[in-house]
A and B are shown apart, each in its own frame.
Chain A
């Protein structure tokens, strides 16, 4: 009787042990399968950085060559008045297209999320979301700046060009495909008084945003630098003929 009982107990113990071993094997198996996963990700991350570096290098070279091209164009046209005028026009076009860094008088706006839940007048807000800068606020500000005659605009260093979209994916705002976040620094070149007046007057878009409780800081400047577009304008679908 006693022998039989001991046999059963041992049998159960063995069973339990086997189970434990199986489970351990499984755990080891699944954890080794996540190791290559992490490795794959690391190598992908490396690859992203490699391509970004390659792009940055090429883009640097491109900026240099654009400058050189402009210089040599000036040199080649200096003896001919009509060509000189055309050269001037090309330079102007590149500024309008956002391909070159530009300087001039303008208006700078810094918009940042207000996380306190209190408006500028010290009242509590009902909807905290109204105190956060959304992508459509940026669209509206840009539209208002253009209406006031802005010649060049950048947001957090990203120049607005003809193909620039400002979008929102979840809670991330993207401009020219790059992530940006609060605080948003918007720089616009144009008449400082006109730009400032039309946005901050009563009923102007910045006035409304400030009423809602967003942190709005503005300043007029005699000399503002608006960055060049950090990309290439390359059309694939546009043709000059039918």
Chain B
């Protein structure tokens, strides 16, 4: 009788020990599951890495293309020198390309047209235009104009005391018509992002803003001469 009772106690102890072990194992399992959640972050890193690869690959291909073009031009010039020929034709071609890149010619292409207007609730500030240009550039705009004033890397936008806005020496007023050449889909979708996009953000502040995609936009050449006064090419 006494021995049986002793056995029973031992049994109980064993069972509870097993229970404790089981609980411990269960907790361990929970911990493992929690840890495996980290793979979500790792996946994110993977997509980020893939974007980086695509970016560098694109840049590489562009650089390669430009390199081939340069090599071809160099050969053409070498040929002219050898033949004692006239380089004027070649230089005209190069100059035309430089003029196009600098905005000295009228250009065409697909893109978007945005019209923003002052309302009773909201007066457009210079920074609204700076912000818009920056967003358009981010979305891959290749050429931009505000009320037919072409925008360059050296352009500036300031507010004058009389309410007019100055875009690189030229006076413009509301309504502002901003034209941008580039991929229509990228441009319009990045501006139309819900809440955080330029359109939603500024509509909420009371700005009157309209976006239109077009298959052919004309951006006028810049007539003002951009003279170089201070900078010189190359190292000191």
**A residues adjacent to B (C-beta < 8 A):** 1-2, 5, 9, 12-13, 16, 19-20, 23, 26-27, 30, 33-34, 37-38, 40-41, 44-45, 47-48, 51-52, 54-55, 58-59, 61-62, 65-66, 68-69, 72-73, 75-77, 80, 82-83, 86-87, 89-98, 100-106, 136, 139-140, 143-144, 146-147, 150-153, 160-167, 177, 189-191, 223, 225-226, 231-242
**B residues adjacent to A (C-beta < 8 A):** 4, 7-8, 11, 14-15, 18, 21-22, 25, 28-29, 32, 36, 38-39, 42-43, 45-46, 49-50, 52-53, 55-57, 59-60, 62-67, 70-71, 73-74, 77-78, 80-81, 86-88, 90-92, 94-95, 98-103, 105-111, 126-127, 130-131, 134-135, 137-138, 140-143, 151-158, 181-183, 216, 218, 226, 228-236
Complex contacts, A231 vs chain B, CB 8 Å:
59, 62-63
User: Shortest beta-carbon distance, A55 to chain B, in Å?
Assistant: 4
Bound-state CA distance A106–B229 (Å) is 12
What is the interface of chain B mostly: helix, strand, loop, or mixed? helix
B81:A75 contact, CB within 8 angstroms: yes
User: Shortest beta-carbon distance, A60 to chain B, in Å?
Assistant: 9
Complex contacts, B62 vs chain A, CB 8 Å:
231-232, 234
The total number of A-B Cβ pairs within 8 Å is: 261
A104:B231 contact, CB within 8 angstroms: yes
**A51-B88 contact in complex given A144-B156, A237-B110, C-beta closer than 8 Å:** no
A242:B108 contact, CB within 8 angstroms: yes
**A73-B59 contact in complex given A48-B53, A234-B66, A240-B108, C-beta closer than 8 Å:** no
Complex contacts, A83 vs chain B, CB 8 Å:
87-88, 91
**A146-B25 contact in complex given A12-B18, A76-B77, A233-B101, C-beta closer than 8 Å:** no
Complex contacts, A48 vs chain B, CB 8 Å:
49, 52-53, 56
A73:B53 contact, CB within 8 angstroms: no
Complex contacts, A152 vs chain B, CB 8 Å:
231
Bound-state CA distance A77–B59 (Å) is 32
- A2-B4, A87-B91, A146-B156 known, 20 other contacts, Cβ within 8 Å: A20-B21, A20-B25, A44-B46, A55-B56, A58-B60, A58-B63, A59-B63, A75-B81, A93-B102, A95-B231, A162-B151, A189-B230, A189-B231, A223-B236, A225-B235, A226-B231, A234-B66, A238-B181, A240-B106, A241-B108
